[in-house]
Amino acid sequence: MSFDRSIKIAPSILSADFANFGAECRAIEAQGADWVHVDVMDGHFVPNITFGPATCAAIRPHIKGVMDVHLMIAPVDPYIEAFAKAGADIITAHVEAGPHIHRTMQAIRGAGAKAGVALNPATPAAAVEYLLDMVDLVCVMTVNPGFGGQKFIHSQVEKVRQLRAMIGDRPIHIEIDGGVDPVTAPLVAAAGADVLVAGSAVFRGGSVSDPAPYGANIRAIRDAAKA
């Protein structure tokens, strides 16, 4: 993975057809997705259960680009190696998920993946200040983690601005996860975000048999973010 700050759209397969993940991954990439975002939930750290390493391993052959795995689980450390072996390019863990997030970032990089750290809406930007020299991505949750389709929390735009200033010229992506659409995308992009996770806003209106709406939705988000 080379680093650049261009806007990247990362559709969340949480909104895809669960019975057809391989084809859905191929479809969104063909329609212009930059990354494929995989939301892993455990029913403990967040009130929902989704996928595990086996799902990631199953869809990896269908993804040509970046597989961006977001671990909303606790504890997280015991599962890092499994997700890395499943083909995750980026593994993101929550700063709130355990007592030793610095060690978690070390473990992710040690497993050969890029290291991401996520911040829940109530967690301040300062929580990652002493991690910035060992992470590749900071994910700002603009909804409470656990379910797709929630409304964007506007207070998080200022957090993005703070992170952008803290990061400076370090090669660190700022990712936004939650409520991203053509209305909210320009707000976070202007504040300094470059990776936009979108679920329902990408998959709405389309399907594997009719993927053109995926492309239209991706272009609408990207164009709005660049405006």
Q: Which one is catalytic: 39, 42, 89, 136?
A: 39
Q: Which one is catalytic: 42, 136, 177, 194?
A: 177
Closest listed residue to residue 109, CA positions, set 124, 131, 142: 131
Give the length of the chain.
Answer: 227
What is the rounded CA–CA span in Å between residue 84 and residue 26?
A: 21
Closest listed residue to residue 18, CA positions, set 42, 61, 49, 64: 49
Catalytic residue list contains 39: yes
Catalytic residue list contains 4: no
Active site residues: 39, 177
